[in-house]
Structure 1
Amino acid sequence: MRRALVLLLLLLTGCEATQRSYSVTAEFTDVLDLVPMAAVKVNDVTVGSVEEITLRGFVAVVRMKLSEGVDLPDNATAAIRQSSLLGEKFVALAAPAGQAGQAGQGKLGNGDLIGLDRTRQGAEVEEVLAALGLLLNGGGLAQLKTINQEVVKALTGREGDAKGALHELDRFITGLDAQKAEIVKTIEALDRLAAGLATQTEVIGNALDALAPGLTVLAQQREQLTDALVALRDLSEVGVRVIDASAKDTVASLKALQPILDNLVAAGDALPKGIDFALTFPFPPNAQKAITGDFVRLHATLDLDAASILANLMASAGGAPLPALPQLPLPQLPTLPLPSLPPLPLPSLPPLPLPTVLPSGLLPSLPGLPPILPGVRLGRSDPMTGEVAGMRGGLSALLIGGEPA
C-alpha cells in the first residue's frame, strides 16, 4: 500500500514538473560525447536536461527541457562543457557575454532555437594531450629553437633598425585600420568588376582573339617600329638645332608682321567689304542682280534745271562772293611794230535751228526764248524689269522728247 502511494506521488510530481517546463533547441557543429539525459546548467546550477540529439545534415540538433523558472534572454548562448577532467559533458546556457544592452532583449521561451552562431564546444582533453605530445616529441621544439637562434642572429646589432621597422609596421597597420571602410569598398568594387567581367567572358575572349592578328603584325614589324622611333629621335634633334639657329630670324619676322597686323585690325570691317567689291569690280556687289544675260538693267533720272544747278553751286561755295584777286603790277613791255595783215574773208555760219518749244525746267527763262515745259526724262524704264530704253535723235530730239530708240 505504501509503495502504491509513493508511486502515485512520484507520478503526480512528474506530471507537475512536465507542466512547469518548456523545450528549447540548440544547434552544434560537434556535440562530442554528449548523451541524452545529460544535465543542462545555468551558472553551474542544473535547470534541465537533454531530451534528444538528432542529426540534420552536418549539424547536431539538441532538444533540451528547461524548468519554467529559468529566465534567460532570447539571444542566450549554449556551450558543451565538461564537469571535470574525466567527467561527463553537459550543456551550459548563459546570457551573451560582452554584449551589454542586449542581455535583456526578449525572453527565451518554448520552441525557441539557439543557432550555430550562438553555440560552441570546449576543447577535448584528448586534443590538448595530442597537441602537447606533438610539441614534446620533437614536432615543434627543435624548430622553435632554430627559429629563436636565427632571430637572435638577425637582430644582433640591428635593434634600432628592428625597432624602427616595428614602428613603421605599426603606423602602416594603423593606417590600414583607419582606411578599413575604403578598403572594404574597394574590395566590393573589385568583386562587382569581377562579376561583370565574368558575365562578359565570351566577349572578352572574342576581343583577345581579335587582338591576336594585330599583335602578330606588330611583332613582325618590330624592327621597323624601332627604326621609326630612332629616326623620330634624330628628327627631334635636327628640329631643335633648326629652331635654335632660326630663333632670331623668326622673332624678327614676327616683329615685321606686327605693323601689317595692326593695319588689318585698324581696317576692321572695311577689309571684307573691299574684298567683296574687288570680286565684282568695276560693278558694286549689288549690281549682280541687275545683270541679265549680256546687258545690265539701268534706270537714271537727270535733273538738268539750270537754276537748281546754279543754286547748288552757290550753296557749295557758302553763298559768299568770290574774293577779289589782288592786282599785280605788270611790267611795261616794249611795243613792237606789227606788220599789217591783209583782211581775211570769214565764212558766214548759218543760224542753228532751235525748237520753238523747250521743256520747262531744263533752262531758266531767258529773254528771247519761248516758255519751257516741265523736266526732261532721258529714258523710259520698264516697270517690271527696270530696263531703260534710250532716246534716239540729236540734242533737239533729246530736248523735245524724241521717239524711243
Structure 2
Amino acid sequence: MTRSVYLAGFGHCSASGATLGAACDTIIAGDIRCASRSVAGQTLPFYALADAASLSDWDLRAREIICGVGREVRAGCSISDSEWSQAGLFFASSSFQIGALEFAARVGRAEFPPAAEFAVKAADWLGIATSPWCFATACTSSLSALDAAATLIRAGVLRRALVLGVELPNITSLAGFAALNLLSPAASRPLDRQRDGLVLGEAVAAIWLTDEPCNGHWGDWRVAGIDAALDSHSATGPNPDGVLIADVMTRALRNAGLSAVDIDLVKLQAAGSPAVDLAEGIALRRVFGERPPALLSLKSYFGHTLGASGAVELSALAACLARDTVPATAGFSAIDPDVGLAPTTVVRNARVRRVLFNLIGFGGSVVSLVIEQAS
C-alpha cells in the first residue's frame, strides 16, 4: 500500500526572521530586509541573517542556526526523542561548507574535508543518529531532497524524515554568479519589466515529513504530486520556449490526480532573472492559459537562497497560508509584455487548498511540487 506523505512541521531562519513566525510577520507586512555584500570590487545587494556581523567562527554560527531551526520544528508538532533521533536526514545545499573553508583559509588553516562531512556534523548537532543523504542539484536541492524522502516514506522504507536546506554565506557563490553577470546591482524584481538579475541570500530551513498528519501549528499539508526534469538547453537557464517547464508542471498535476483548474495558487520560481522568469511565464501560459490562478514569488523577502530555497520558501508559504493570507510579491511594479503575467501585488485573505510550487535551478534542473491541505 502506498502511504500518504505529510508536511507536518517546519523551521525557518532567513533575512525575514530568525523563526518562522517572525518571517511570516515580516512577509505579510511587506518588509524588505536586504543588506549588501562586496565582492570583486562590486557592492551587491544581499539578504543576510540578522547576526551576519558575528562571523568570528563559521562552524559555531552554523551550528547555532541549524539547531535553532531544529528546535522550532520539534516545538511545532509532537515528536518524541526516539522518533527524532531515528528519522532520515535529507541534507540539501548548493555550497555545503564552502564558507567554512574560506574562513579557515583566512586564518591560515588549510582544510579540505569532503562535502558530506558538513551533513554528518549537522546530524550530530541535531541529535539525529542516522546517516544523512546529501543533495546538491543547485537551486532545486531542497525539493530534490523532499522528493527522495517522500518516495521512501510512500514505499514504507521510512516513516519520518527531516529535509534540511542550508545555504550559508560564502564568497565563492557570490563571486561566481557575479562573474556570469547573473546578479542585479539593485534589487530583486520578480517578473517585472525592469528585472535585471538575481539577489542572493543566506538561510536555513527544515521540513518534517511523516506518514501521518501531525495537526501542527502551521497546518497539515500533504504532498500530492511532484515531478522533475533536466533542461539541457544551457548551463545557466532553461529553454526560453518553456516547453520542458510546462511538461514538468503538467506531470506534477497528473501525479496528484489534479488538473490546472484545481490549483488555487502558484508559487513561482521567479527571482528577477530576465531569461528564467520569461521561460517560466511562457510555461505558465501553456499550462493555465491566459487566466492562471494567483501567482506569487517570495524571493524578494529573503533573496535567492540557492540550494535551501525549496525549504525556505515552502516553510514561509505554509506559515502565511496557515493564517489564511496570501502575501504580496515584493519588487513587482510593471508587467513585462513578453511575459504577459502579473503576480500578486497586495496582501489578501484567502483560504488556499492546493498549491503548485515551482523551482528552476542553475544547470537546468526543474521541479514542480503540488501540495494540498490534508483536511
**Structure with more strand by fraction:** 2
**Structure with more helix by fraction:** 1
> What TM-score, normalized by structure 1, do the two folds share?
0.15
Greater RCO, CA 8 A, separation 6+? 2
Give the structure with higher Rg (CA).
1
